[in-house]
Amino acid sequence: MKIDAEESWITPRINTIATFVASGAGAGLSPYAPGTAGSLLGVLLLWPLGYLALEWLWLVWLIVCLLAVWSADDAGADWEVVDHPAIVIDEVVGVWLAYLIPATLLSVQRDTLLVTLGALVLFRLYDITKPWPVNWVERRLPGGVGVVADDLVAGAMAGVTLAVLMIAQLVV
C-alpha cells in the first residue's frame, strides 16, 4: 500500500459501500478542494440533525466516527493511498466535532448560522495548516485511525477555539 498521493495516484472509484461512505457519497471526488467539499457536506448533514437532543447528536457522531475509520481504511487500501484526497468522511466528523463542542459547552442556540459557519471556517483552518498536535497525530497513527484522528484533533481545536471566541464575545 502506498503512503501518500504523490507516490501513486489511483483514480478513486466508488465500487463498495466503504468507498461510498469514505468519499462522502462522492463529495470527495470533487476535482477542486475535496476536503472543503467534504466539510461542506458535513455542515449540510449536520443542519437537519442539529435539532436532535445533544445526547443523540453525540451518539450519531460517535457512530459516524466508527464508520469513518472503517471506510477510510478500506478506501485507502482500495485506492492504494492511505489518506487519499477523495476520502472526506474524516472532514465530516471533524467539522461536526468543531460544532458540537461549543454547542455542548455553551448551550448555544445550536441552529444558528454563525456557530455553524464558525465551526466550518476554524475547522478548515486547522485541517489545512495542520499545526501541532494535528500533524503529530497524522504522522503517528496508522490506516483509517490516523486518517480520521487528525481531523478529530483539528475539529477539537476548532471547537475549543470557537467556544473561547464566543465566551470572549459574551464577556466583552
User: What are phi and psi for residue 85, nearest 5 degrees?
Assistant: -55, -25
Q: Is residue 3 part of a domain?
A: no
Which ranges constitute the DSSP H helices of 11-133?
Answer: 17-22, 34-49, 54-79, 89-106, 113-129
CA distance 133 to 157: 9
Q: Is residue 95 part of a domain?
A: yes
pLDDT of 78: 94
pLDDT digits (tens, 9 = 90+) for 74-85: 999 999 999 999
**Sign of the CA dihedral 84, 48, 124, 65?**
negative
Q: Is residue 137 part of a domain?
A: yes
pLDDT digits (tens, 9 = 90+) for 125-154: 999 999 999 999 989 999 999 999 999 999
pLDDT of 51: 79
Residue 127 CA, chain-centre distance (Å), reads 9
- How many independent structural domains does the chain possess? 1
Q: Is residue 132 part of a domain?
A: yes
Three cell numbers at 106?
Answer: 455553551
Q: Is residue 21 part of a domain?
A: yes
Higher pLDDT, residue 50 or 129: 129
Three cell numbers at 32?
Answer: 477542486
Longest dimension (CA), the chain: 53
DSSP state of 12: P
User: Can you give the residue range of the structural domain that contains 145?
Assistant: 17-171
Q: Is residue 1 part of a domain?
A: no
C-alpha pair distances (Å), 73 with each of 66, 89, 100, 162: 11, 11, 25, 30
Reduce the DSSP state of residue 42 to 3 states and report it.
helix
Q: Is residue 8 part of a domain?
A: no
Q: Cell 436532535 sits at which residue?
A: 52
CA distance 73 to 52: 29
